Amino acid sequence: MSDLHRRNFIKGAAVLSGAAICGVATASNAKAAQTLPENFEPPAMPWGYQELDPEYVRKLGHLGYYLEECGGGSFWAIMTALKEKIGYPYNLIPLPTKEEFIDHLSGKSKGKHYQGIMQHGVGGVADYGSLCGAPNGAAAAITFAFPFADVKSIVKRLMRYYETEAFPNAKSNEYAINKEFYPPKYKSGKSLPRSPSHSVLCHVSVGKWCETSGYASGSKERSERCARVTGDVAAMAVTLLNAHLKGNIETVFPLKLSQDTVSCRVCHFKGKKFEAGQFTRGSMECSSCHNDMTPHMGENKLKTAYGTDVGTWAGAAVVGTVAGIGTHAVAGRFSKEDPHDEE
């Protein structure tokens, strides 16, 4: 079947059930499965991107959380906006419509159960407390839009946004108070306290927020906070995607790691020189977990880094003197291209 024919066929089939593509035809979508040509194959990724409205996606993300939590919610929000804007091939993905979700929350589809792609991201992957589902789900959606090298640059910025933003965003609080969010009844309609977590972990993000706000992790307010976080992260993902499309992502969101992290990454990054500290990887905020710098000052198992005594140099780095020079050099390189890029 030529591409052109396939395209027309898909359009004719309206919104296809993705379950059919996977061959898991249930009674309700068996009809769609029957009409698919036997040799049908979805197109290879990436599927492309067109500018989306971040505020619309913020509201979708909030709604998505109510049915599929943070991971499913942010994925659903971005993919739904893409499906509405671009259509094929985004309509190959199983995505209930916004109206279906709202109807369900209004009690119009009792007994119906929704399960979404990336829903496993809930509570830091199946409630395990690791990576927050909101950036996880959004990253999966971003992966559909652009070639993977671009995806990495966009997702890293989204992770950094997550570490630094005081959630929930003021816009989200405003939408809740003005009843602009889609769910017919909110878990909480209040303006909620805002706090940054300096971590991408659900465990830290929820814990710090609970500590700041005084709400328990099992409270309706905490759940509503996470619905708003889902919207905020989906909105930022789309802001970054729009910027990337226009070629100005560096202006819209320059990747600035914390001063601490940059100072650690002078030595600790994914590299080949073990003795110099290159036995780690990653760009998370180091100081959210590492405070005790005594290993650098005491008798080291590894005596030197770049020929300098690690104890003295890293000790100085911690009080921010000598490493300031190294830090500066690394920060400069960061703004162009991450020199210690992870593969």
Partner residues linked to 131 by β-bridges: 201
Asked whether position 321 contacts ligand HEC by CB under 6 A, the answer is no
Among residues 11, 108, 290, 328, the one that binds ligand HEC under rule CB under 6 A: 290
Asked whether position 339 contacts ligand HEC by CB under 6 A, the answer is no
Instruction: Report how far residue 333's alpha carbon sits from residue 338's, in angstroms, rounded to the nearest whole number.
Output: 7
Positions 189 through 248 that interact with ligand HEC (CB under 6 A): 201
> Given the structure tokens 């309706």, which residue do they identify?
220
Binding part of the chain for ligand HEC, among 75-83, 92-100, 148-156, 307-315 by CB under 6 A, reads: 307-315
| Widest distance between CA atoms in the chain | 72
Instruction: Report how far residue 32's alpha carbon sits from residue 14's, in angstroms, rounded to the nearest whole number.
Output: 10
Asked whether position 156 contacts ligand HEC by CB under 6 A, the answer is no
Q: At what angle do helices 133-145 and 220-246 cross, to 10 degrees?
A: 30
Nearest CB to ligand HEC, comparing residues 51 and 127: 127
Among residues 81, 158, 237, 267, the one that binds ligand HEC under rule CB under 6 A: 267
Read off the amino acid at residue 192: L
Binding part of the chain for ligand HEC, among 22-30, 161-169, 231-239, 305-313 by CB under 6 A, reads: 305-313
Nearest CB to ligand HEC, comparing residues 173 and 300: 300
Q: Cβ(162)–Cβ(132) under 8 Å?
A: yes
Q: How far, in Å, are 168, 311, 318 from residue 212 at the CA level?
A: 12, 36, 28
Q: Cβ(234)–Cβ(61) under 8 Å?
A: yes
Asked whether position 157 contacts ligand HEC by CB under 6 A, the answer is no
**Could you list the residues that contact ligand HEC (CB under 6 A)?**
201, 260-261, 263-268, 276-277, 279-280, 282-286, 288-290, 295-296, 300-302, 305, 310, 313-314, 317-318, 323
